[in-house]
């Protein structure tokens, strides 16, 4: 790597990116035999945020600093993400939930609010199922614990449904299957993840221009690495175990807020009340899946109103 390439890479490092979040710091903890990277800022009741695929802690850059005015915000790179550890196993959501639980215990946090997006929402729900006494309130954004409904996803899209934009009435999430394949995705995507990112953001966002080039370059710099592709795909490869674990859980009783985008609201509205007794689901129908980027002001407003009551 020449000096110019090294300079380009360094601008996407945690050390450089955290400078864009006033009052936040990078930190690391070893929990459940894995090192987790997280960023922390603000004071008040703890609010833990868990990102999804294919992003990192930086995906909360539009909302975390604002929420840190009221809360002690902790955004975690979950197992396999960013600069957190990438062991060969442990990507079932129950184990990943234990990662987060042990981090809260090491930090001395008896009760937290929890917010998860996408895969992070799955981990958040698993933590709530397994450690309900630790959760005050929980927010789930376009992500719910894996269930048997996943097994009904089509391999081939029905005629006329696979278009340039995904909608709530026409979902073809082919990457759910692609990410099940071991070893091949790393070979195909190493150094080329930008192509997948650009296609994905165009497909699942209403306004993909809200995902700026700089953000895309951050995520590409992470997921271009074959080890990061391998680890993040492992989140998907454990869905069948997650589904079996989910069959043993009792419905949640803490207050739960689901925020569904244009592509997920109908599914969340139908599914979340089955697993959460004290549940509200709101639709952000003018946003696609990456709501933190498309509608950050609305997310801040909705989350703040829910947590403050």
Please state, as a whole number, how many other Cβ atoms lie within 10 Å of the Cβ of residue 248.
Answer: 9
Rg (CA), the chain: 18
- Residue 168 has a pLDDT of 86
- Does pTM surpass 0.85? yes
- Residue 126 has a pLDDT of 98
Tens digit of each residue's pLDDT (9 = 90 or more) over 25-55: 999 999 999 999 999 999 999 999 999 999 9
- Residue 90 has a pLDDT of 98
- Cα 163 off chain centre by: 25
Tens digit of each residue's pLDDT (9 = 90 or more) over 163-211: 999 988 888 999 999 999 999 999 999 999 999 999 999 999 999 999 9
Question: Per the structure block, which two tokens stand in for 210?
Answer: 């809200």
Task: Walk along the chain (309 residues) in steps of 10 and give the mean pLDDT of each run.
Answer: 63 97 98 98 98 98 98 98 98 98 98 98 98 98 95 93 91 96 98 98 98 98 98 98 98 98 95 96 97 98 93
What structural domains does the chain harbor? 3-308 (3.40.50.1820)
- Residue 278 has a pLDDT of 97
């Amino acid at each position: 790597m020449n000096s110019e390439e090294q300079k380009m890479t360094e601008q996407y490092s945690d050390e450089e990116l955290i400078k864009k979040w006033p009052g936040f710091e990078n930190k690391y903890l070893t929990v459940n035999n894995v090192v987790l990277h997280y960023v922390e800022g603000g004071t008040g009741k703890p609010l833990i945020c868990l990102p999804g695929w294919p992003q990192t802690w930086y995906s909360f850059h539009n909302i975390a600093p604002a929420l840190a005015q009221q809360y002690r915000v902790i955004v975690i790179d979950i197992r396999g993400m960013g600069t957190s550890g990438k062991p060969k196993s442990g990507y079932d959501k129950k184990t990943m939930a234990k990662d987060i639980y042990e981090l809260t215990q090491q930090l001395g946090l008896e009760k937290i609010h929890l917010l998860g997006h996408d895969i992070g929402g799955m981990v958040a729900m698993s933590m709530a199922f397994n450690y309900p006494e630790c959760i005050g309130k929980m927010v789930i954004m376009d992500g719910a614990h894996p269930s048997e409904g996943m097994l009904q996803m089509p391999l081939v899209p029905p005629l006329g449904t696979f278009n340039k934009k995904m909608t709530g009435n026409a979902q073809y999430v082919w990457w759910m299957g692609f990410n099940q394949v071991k070893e091949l995705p790393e070979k195909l995507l190493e150094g080329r993840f930008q192509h997948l990112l650009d296609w994905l953001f165009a497909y699942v966002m209403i306004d993909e221009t809200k995902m700026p080039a700089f953000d895309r370059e951050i995520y590409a710099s992470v997921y271009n690495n074959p080890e990061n592709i391998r680890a993040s795909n492992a989140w998907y490869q454990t869905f069948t175990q997650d589904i079996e674990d989910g069959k043993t859980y009792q419905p949640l009783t803490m207050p739960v807020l689901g925020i569904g985008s244009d592509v997920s609201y109908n599914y969340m509205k139908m599914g979340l009340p089955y697993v959460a007794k004290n549940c509200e689901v709101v639709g952000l129908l003018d946003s696609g899946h990456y709501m933190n980027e498309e509608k950050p002001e609305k997310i801040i407003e909705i989350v703040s109103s829910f947590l403050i009551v």
